[in-house]
């Protein structure tokens, strides 16, 4: 497996000259080809008109479906471009809304993201469905064995966050998918923190639906994302909204959904950022997801080991497989104080709080943590500088 050419990818990433960016799980630094693709299209809109620029770039826009599909092992007709991962997830989940009845069970993980869990709560209130949390195994990741023991005819959905917002654990999505397939239960995977930093294959995972974003590990523009719905699952789910792009109007009294996953899209959308996202996918695929993930894991593992060697600093990541997100606490300092101190040295990190992943954080007795998230364009020297900055807080 070829190694990542660090000098080249940093040269392609102008932002590395300004900051040490360890907030890739928030929004990564875009490489130059992504910026060019986005801006070039906007300039054509300004020069010749929005509809005309769309017509001129129609082939390139159509090709975006194939690029997203190849990234996750899907088919182009199984992809819909949505403005962000949350709305992509919403379109899938609320599309299942009519299938829930009183006593039906929604099974999810302790790491489930706030927006997802809020949606479960809303639908549970409307329909009488109940939400149940799948126990973790001893390593802190969702237990496929525990899930298997929970399956019965009342389970109508398994919803899982692949990589949570509050830690580096990689939940065993393929093992969960195996249980879901055997039981015939729909499986919705939130992959917004995993797509772009590791290889993803929806066939191997066995999910029926997957949502993801462009701005995080894919290094695309903000306000981008896409939804996968498996072709043979499409007729079991109905978009919660309809417009002229999603359906035809053959007679006054009826409409007909288009035959592919694009039925979840809107007619009006941002083509400049979609082309930017396509450029980000091309860039990642050009490097190779296996090489990206190997470097991300190596950097994160080194980061954790260095942090744990500092007295009063404790890393908090769980699971048998860990990725590029590194969460930690510093004795005597709040997560916000740590973030501010690092920002003063032009080191970008984030914080994660109980409000984002309440079930997991309450189970572990945590209110907040500092979250650093490395990517393949980060250097070993940058990790060392960040560790020294954290160590200085304990002196």
User: Fold for domain 33-286?
Assistant: 3.40.640
The span from the CA of 177 to the CA of 189, in Å, is 9
The angle at the Cα of 97, spanning 93 to 101, to the nearest 5 degrees, equals 130
Residues 6+ apart with CB under 8 A from 25: 165, 193, 216, 217, 324, 325, 350, 371, 373
State whether the Cα torsion 312-306-351-121 is positive or negative.
negative
Q: Which CATH class is domain 6-30+289-392?
A: alpha beta
DSSP letter string over 307-323? HHTSTTEEE---SSSB-
Would you give per-residue pLDDT tens digits along the chain (395 residues)?
A: 679 999 999 999 999 999 999 999 999 999 999 999 999 999 999 999 999 999 999 999 999 999 999 999 999 999 999 999 999 999 999 999 778 999 999 999 999 999 999 999 999 999 999 999 999 999 999 999 999 999 999 999 999 999 999 999 999 999 999 999 999 999 999 999 999 999 999 999 999 999 999 999 999 999 999 999 999 999 999 999 999 999 999 999 999 999 999 999 999 999 999 999 999 999 999 999 999 999 999 999 999 999 999 999 999 999 999 999 999 999 999 999 999 999 999 999 999 999 999 999 999 999 999 999 999 999 999 999 999 999 999 98
pLDDT at 98: 72
Residues carrying CATH 3.40.640.10, the chain: 33-286
Q: Which is nearest to 172 in space by CA: 131, 217, 124, 206?
A: 206
Q: What is the pTM of this model?
A: 0.97
- Pair type for strands 79-82 and 347-348: unpaired
Nearest-5° Cα angle at 85, 82 to 88: 50
pLDDT of residue 166: 97
Domain with CATH 3.90.1150.10 in the chain: 6-30+289-392
Output the CA torsion 228→216→68→38 (10° steps).
130
Q: How many whole angstroms separate alpha carbon 175 and alpha carbon 189? A: 12
Which candidate, 269, 274, 268, 171, places its Cα nearest to that of 213?
274
Residue 1, pLDDT score = 63
How far apart CA 328 and CA 123 sit, in angstroms, is: 34
Task: For residues 255 and 236, give the distance between their C-alpha atoms in angstroms, rounded to a whole number.
Answer: 17
Among residues 137, 200, 199, the alpha carbon closest in space to that of 189 is found at 200
Per-residue confidence (pLDDT) for residue 276, from 0 to 100 = 98
């Amino acid at each position: 497996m070829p190694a990542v050419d660090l000098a080249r990818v940093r040269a392609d990433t102008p932002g590395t000259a300004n900051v040490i960016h360890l907030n890739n799980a928030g929004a990564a630094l875009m490489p130059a080809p992504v910026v060019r693709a986005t801006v070039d299209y906007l300039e054509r809109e300004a020069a010749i008109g929005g509809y005309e620029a769309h017509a001129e770039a129609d082939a390139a826009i159509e090709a975006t479906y194939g690029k997203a599909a190849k990234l996750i092992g899907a088919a182009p007709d199984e992809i819909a471009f949505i403005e962000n991962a949350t709305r992509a997830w919403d379109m899938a989940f609320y599309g299942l809304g009519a299938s829930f009845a009183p006593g039906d069970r929604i099974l999810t993980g302790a790491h489930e993201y706030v927006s997802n869990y809020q949606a479960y709560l809303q639908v549970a209130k409307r329909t009488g469905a109940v939400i149940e949390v799948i126990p973790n195994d001893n390593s802190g990741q969702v237990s496929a064995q525990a899930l298997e023991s929970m399956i019965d005819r009342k389970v109508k959905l398994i919803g899982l966050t692949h990589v949570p917002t509050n830690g580096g654990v990689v939940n065993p999505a393929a093992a969960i998918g195996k249980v879901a397939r055997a039981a015939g239960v729909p499986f919705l995977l939130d992959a917004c923190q995993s797509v772009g930093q590791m290889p993803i294959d929806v066939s191997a995972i066995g999910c029926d639906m997957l949502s993801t974003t462009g701005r995080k590990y894919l290094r695309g523009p903000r306000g981008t994302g896409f939804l996968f719905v498996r072709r043979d699952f499409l007729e079991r789910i109905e978009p919660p909204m309809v417009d002229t792009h999603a359906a035809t109007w053959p007679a006054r009294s009826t409409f007909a959904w288009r035959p592919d996953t694009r039925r979840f899209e809107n007619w009006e959308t941002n083509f400049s950022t979609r082309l930017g996202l396509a450029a980000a996918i091309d860039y990642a695929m050009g490097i190779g997801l296996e090489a990206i993930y190997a470097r991300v894991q190596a950097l994160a593992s080194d980061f954790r080991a260095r942090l744990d060697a500092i007295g009063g600093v404790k890393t908090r990541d769980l699971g048998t497989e860990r990725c590029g997100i590194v969460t930690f606490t510093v004795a005597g300092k709040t997560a916000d104080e740590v973030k501010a101190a690092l920002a003063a040295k032009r080191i970008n990190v984030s914080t994660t709080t109980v409000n984002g992943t309440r079930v997991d954080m309450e189970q572990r007795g945590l209110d907040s943590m500092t979250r650093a998230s490395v990517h393949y364009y980060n250097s070993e020297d940058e990790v060392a500088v960040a560790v020294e900055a954290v160590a200085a807080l304990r002196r």
